[in-house]
Amino acid sequence: MPTISIGDIQLNYVERGSGPVLLLVHGFPLDHTMWKYQLDTLAESARLIAPDLRGFGHSGVTEGTVSMEQYARDLAALLDALKVDEPIILCGLSMGGYIAWQFWRKHAKRIAKLILCDTKAVADAAEAAATRLKTAERVKQTGTEALTELMMGKLFAPGTSQERPADVEAMRQVILRTPPRGAAAALRGMAQRPDSTSLLRSINVPTQVIVGQHDVISPPDEMRGIAEAIPDARFVEIAGAGHMAPLEKPDDVNAVIRAFLSR
Ligand code: MLT
């Protein structure tokens, strides 16, 4: 997997296929491997770029707080380093979506289309932000096992652990391998992320909103609201999937993405 030097950090990324650039931005506390079924099959339709964000996977780690804006800056710098100057299709899941709002805010001209999977536009309520900060401390002190306890039960639909035990276990292993300081920095960044609701109406590129039917972190009704607020957005609910829809129901999600790419 190639590594590229971006300012103060080394980013690992996977690149496959040719055609329009589809940048795949993973969720928390994961890495590019959550896109394995997109990387396997969408390379016929697009040039896929899937980085490990700062502090995740095999990328370099930053202490303290990493803001959603910082991750967005890293993505823009990655595109520069890969000499991508045409507008891209940006696809983010959950925290990847929080980063997409910031990318839109700062680099709207670089986006041709948006795909938002299982994400939210609102900021954390005060209590949720405080819990994140506590979790950041716990993770820093005791490691990311705490995150498997907190998150594994919320990531997948009820049937997924029976239908795809290997994928569920792979994500648990990814969380366990995530550098604790990287995860803690992202938790602090998410706790202070701005509310992006008022940004939605300014998104003037074709947008595809995708949500798993059983997503308990960013539920379908909330995501339908996001799609309704974006002028040119389509909304799709993926039956039988949870928060990790692209991994849980890859054929269904890939069909939606393919149709959207050819739109
Ligand atoms: C994610 O999947 O990226 C996280 O669930 C986001 C969050 O904790 O808000």
pLDDT in tens, 209-226: 999 999 999 999 999 999
Mean predicted confidence (pLDDT) in 136-156:
97
> Which atom of ligand 1 is least distant from the CA of 95?
3
Q: Which of 53, 68, 120, 190 to mutate to test the pocket of ligand 1 (most atoms within 8 A of CB)?
A: 190
Helix (H) or strand (E) holding 90: strand 88-93
Residue 34's pLDDT is 98
* Position 153 pLDDT exceeds 90: yes
Q: How many angstroms does the Cα of residue 190 sit away from the middle of ligand 1?
A: 8
95 touches ligand 1 (CB under 6 Å)? yes
* Position 22 pLDDT exceeds 90: yes
In 3D space, the residue among 174, 176, 171, 168 whose CA is nearest the CA of residue 144 turns out to be 176
* Position 165 pLDDT exceeds 90: yes
Q: What is the CATH number of the domain that holds 119?
A: 3.40.50.1820
Residue 172's pLDDT is 98
Residue 263's pLDDT is 87
* Position 75 pLDDT exceeds 90: yes
Q: How many angstroms does the Cα of residue 134 sit away from the middle of ligand 1?
A: 16
Full residue range of the structural domain in which residue 20 is found:
3-261
Distance between CA atoms of 180 and 199, rounded to whole angstroms? Answer: 32
Residue 1's pLDDT is 83
Domain count, the chain: 1
Q: How many angstroms does the Cα of residue 48 sit away from the middle of ligand 1?
A: 22
217 touches ligand 1 (CB under 6 Å)? yes
In 3D space, the residue among 108, 44, 22, 107 whose CA is nearest the CA of residue 73 turns out to be 107
Evaluate whether 245 touches 251 at the Cβ level (below 8 Å). no
DSSP letter at 6 equals E
**Residue 42: partners with Cβ closer than 8 Å, 6 or more residues away:** 17, 22, 48, 254, 257, 258, 261
